[in-house]
Amino acid sequence: MTIVSIWCRHKNDSIIGIGPDIPWYIPSDAKRFRNLTINNTLVVGKTTYETFPNRTLPNRKFIVLSDVADYEVSDKQNHKVVTDINVLKDYPEDLYISGGASVYKAFFTIPKLRPDIVVDCVYQGEMKEGLSGPKISVAPCVEVMEKEYFALPQKFELDNVITSIWLKKGDFVEQETVKKILNYMETEGK
C-alpha cells in the first residue's frame, strides 16, 4: 500500500479552507486532483465528504472518517465509514488522503500511517473574500513534511499554483506511483 497525501494550500499560512469552503477555485487544480485520484480510494473526513456534490465524486471509492459508525453514505457499495483510523494500517489498496485538515493531521501523526508521498500544491494568489468560519490550515503537517520528507527537484507551475512532490525520507517508496504522478505533472496544461 502506498499512502499519498494531496492538498492545495495557500502560500505562507498553509490555509486549505475557511469554514466548509476552499477559498479559491482554480479549474486546473480541480482537474489535477481529479486526474491524480481517479479510480483510486480516497480518505476524507465527514466535513469534506459533505462538501462534494451529492457527497460523491465519480470513479472513486471513499473511506469516510467519522465517529458516527452508522453514518449513512451516499453510495453504500463504494463508500465506507471508518471510525478507527488504525484499521487502515494494512489496507490492501493505495490510499489518497484528501482532507480536510483533521484527516491530514491524523495521518501525519501516526507513524505507520504517515504518507509515503505528498503532492504539495501551493496557491500563490489572493483568497476569496466574504467567506465565514474558521481558517483551517495544514501548517503542522507542512512542518513535518519539511523535516521528514525531501522534495523532488522538479517544480510545476500552472495558474498560480506551484506543485512539488515530496517523498518520505529513509523509507522505500513505490516508484510506480511516483512515476504515475510525475507523468501527469509533466504533461499537465500542455
Ligand X SMILES: NC(=O)c1ccc[n+]([C@@H]2O[C@H](COP(=O)([O-])OP(=O)(O)OC[C@H]3O[C@@H](n4cnc5c(N)ncnc54)[C@H](OP(=O)(O)O)[C@@H]3O)[C@@H](O)[C@H]2O)c1
The residues binding ligand X (CB under 6 A) are: 7-8, 16-17, 20-22, 45-48, 51, 65-68, 83, 85, 98-103, 106, 136
The partner residues of 6 in beta bridges, in order of sequence, read 119
CB of 19 or CB of 169, closer to ligand X: 19
CB of 78 or CB of 109, closer to ligand X: 109
Q: How many CA atoms lie within 13 A of 102 on its CB side?
A: 12
Shortest reach from residue 164's CB to ligand X, in Å: 15
CB of 67 or CB of 129, closer to ligand X: 67
Shortest reach from residue 107's CB to ligand X, in Å: 9
Of 19, 23, 40, the closest CA to residue 133 belongs to 19
Residues 182 and 144: their CA atoms lie apart, in Å, by 22
Shortest reach from residue 5's CB to ligand X, in Å: 10
Helices (runs of H) and strands (runs of E) counted in the chain: 5, 10
CB of 35 or CB of 175, closer to ligand X: 35
Shortest reach from residue 100's CB to ligand X, in Å: 2
| Distance, CA of 68 to chain centre | 22
Give residue 82's identity as a one-letter amino acid code: V
